[in-house]
Chains A and B, each alone.
Chain A
Amino acid sequence: MRYKSSEKKFNIDNHNKTCLEKISSSKLFYTRDLFAYAFVALFVVFLIIVFVVLPSNKQANGFCVKKDGQVVFYFTNNTVKIQNDYDDLIETVGIQNGVEVTIYTDSNKTNFNVILFDLSNKTAKVTKSTCSHSKDCCYSPAISNSGIIYCAPHGLSIEPIGSGGFTPPVTGGIK
């Protein structure tokens, strides 16, 4: 059987052609879509229950701030407990109903994050950062008993401690 040359070449790409034909001749909505959307909705509800609702029942005793996985300071009982070697990189300012901690992320003190610990609401939030254009850490909502704030460019994380997470060591390492 002889093909015209155009038909022959056309067949090679039949798969892609059908894919384009399939999508471009499809509709914006099919009844079957509802199954996909229901599956996604159930999945989101499951995530909310497991990772937001359940952890929020735990009571935190404070916060732990880490840089590249190393603890820089704890914030417990309304005081900042700085770990060894980090004294020079941290500035603490008391404000009304809160403590504002500036942590410099390089030795030249050109880059920093400012963390606000709200004493009345028992929350922590990043208020200023020099990390990137998008400043994701500043847009992270304040955390209290659960959640975490992470600044990827600075390798900085803030998480609650206590019954929900881990308890800071009582002796050694803390000034």
Chain B
Amino acid sequence: MKKNTKKLTLSALLSALALITFMIENLFPPLFFPGARMGLSNVFILLCVVLLGNKYGFAVLIVKVTLGSLYSGNISALMYSLPSGLIALIIQVLLIKYTSRLSIIAISVTGSVANAVCQNAVFCFVMKSFAYLSYSPYLALSGVISGAIVGATVFFLTKKLRKIKFLQDIYFT
């Protein structure tokens, strides 16, 4: 298989995993507070950035958010989940690129909190009511928890995945 085909295959697989995780999570009650989710689908987005690069990471994010809001029948969610997801991913990409000696957990926590707060702020803007900002501290706190879980998962996955032949082929052939 050509290298680009392998990359495309892997990013498609990660998109599918992100989407499925997102859909399953939506079936369960929120984490501590309305609107708060574990955000486990972000594992696959961050993993894609690490394994395949920023371009593929952003592609997986866009696929997950667009199809996720379409399948859950809440297309208007796209308005606030896409900008916040993009901002969070940009922050994480910049932190990965330009900082050294900052753990992936700290990077993921920062991105996740930014995601939660941005999403809330855009939501207020769309709804034309600042009352929703009262959610923001709780969403930020749940962002800390979910960011830590996502960061730790990515940390352990990259340790394992670097040894897999399919991935090594992408880098070394």
Contacts and interface: CB of A to CB of B under 8 A. Distances in A.
B12 interface: no
B137 A51 contact: yes
Contact of A134 (B30, B103, B104): B30
A52 B144 CA distance: 18
A13 B137 contact: no
A28 interface: yes
A1 interface: no
Contacts of A134: 26-30
Nearest to A27: B103
Contact of B173 (A9, A33, A137, A165): A9
A47 B136 CA distance: 7
Nearest to B133: A51
Given A6-B173, A40-B109, A147 B131 contact: yes
Interface stretch (B13-21, B49-57, B59-67, B82-90): B49-57
A24 interface: yes
Interface stretch (A14-22, A73-81, A89-97, A107-115): A14-22
A22 B158 CA distance: 10
Interface string A128-152: 0000111111011100001111101
Contact of B155 (A26, A69, A159): A26
A51 B113 CA distance: 16
Interface residues of A, number: 52
A75 B160 CA distance: 58
A48 interface: yes
Contacts of A3: none
A47 B99 CA distance: 26
B125 interface: no
B159 interface: yes
Nearest to B96: A19
- Which of B26, B34, B113 has the most chain A CB atoms closer than 10 A to its own CB? B34
B144 A40 contact: yes
Contacts of B152: 28
B165 interface: no
Question: Which 3 pairs, one residue from A and one from B, show the smallest C-beta to C-beta distance?
Answer: A136-B34, A148-B131, A47-B137
Interface of B: 3, 26-30, 33-35, 49-53, 73-74, 77, 96, 99, 101-107, 109-110, 113, 117, 127-129, 131-137, 140-141, 144, 152, 154-155, 158-159, 161-162, 167, 170-173
28 contacts: A13-B171, A16-B51, A20-B162, A23-B96, A24-B158, A24-B159, A28-B152, A32-B101, A32-B102, A33-B103, A36-B107, A40-B110, A40-B113, A40-B140, A43-B117, A44-B140, A47-B137, A132-B26, A134-B30, A135-B29, A148-B129, A150-B34, A150-B127, A150-B132, A153-B74, A157-B127, A157-B129, A159-B131
Given A26-B104, A148-B129, 15 more contacts: A6-B173, A13-B170, A20-B162, A23-B158, A24-B161, A40-B144, A43-B140, A44-B137, A44-B141, A47-B117, A47-B137, A133-B28, A147-B135, A148-B135, A159-B131
